[in-house]
Amino acid sequence: MSHLVTTAVRPKACPCGALVLAGVAEGLHVWADPVGLNRAGWVAAILAGRETYRLTRTGLVALDSDRAKDDRIGGPIVARHKCREPIPPHHREISTPPQIENTKEIPF
């Protein structure tokens, strides 16, 4: 049981102009980019030395090697904010757009 405080995140403006998620994760103040990472983005963030977190209902959960494998921790993976280094589009988790059947009929 950890005695370190974790708080829910709040949107905040970074001095660089980016919107960040600000919260306390196990006693440490964290500003994270409000962008869910896909697997490639997660790997890229780790290789770049950026801490990664799961965004949960109660706040940010730091992902260490044990927690990274723990499927019980749900929620999107986000990375620590770095000014002027936004998450590139191909590293963002994109929800699948709904499939619209093209029947070539006029829909009215």
Q: Under the criterion CB under 5 A, does residue 19 sit at the interface with Zn ion?
A: no
Phi, psi (deg, nearest 5) at residue 31: -115, 120
Smaller CB separation from Zn ion, 48 or 83: 83
Q: Under the criterion CB under 5 A, does residue 14 sit at the interface with Zn ion?
A: yes
Cβ at position 31, least distance to Zn ion in Å: 7
CB 62 within 8 A of CB 51: yes
Question: Which residue stretch of 6-14, 46-54, 63-71, 97-105 sits at the interface with Zn ion (rule: CB under 5 A)?
Answer: 6-14
For Zn ion, what does the binding mask look like between residues 39 and 78, x meaning CB under 5 A?
Answer: ----------------------------------------
Smaller CB separation from Zn ion, 11 or 107: 11
Give the DSSP per-residue string, the chain.
Answer: ---S-----EEEE-TTS-EEEEEEETTEEEEE-S--B-HHHHHHHHHTT--EEEEETTEEEE--HHHHT-TTS-S-EEEB--TT-PPPGGGB--PPPPP-----S---
Q: Under the criterion CB under 5 A, does residue 16 sit at the interface with Zn ion?
A: yes
Site of interaction with Zn ion (CB under 5 A): 14, 16, 18, 83
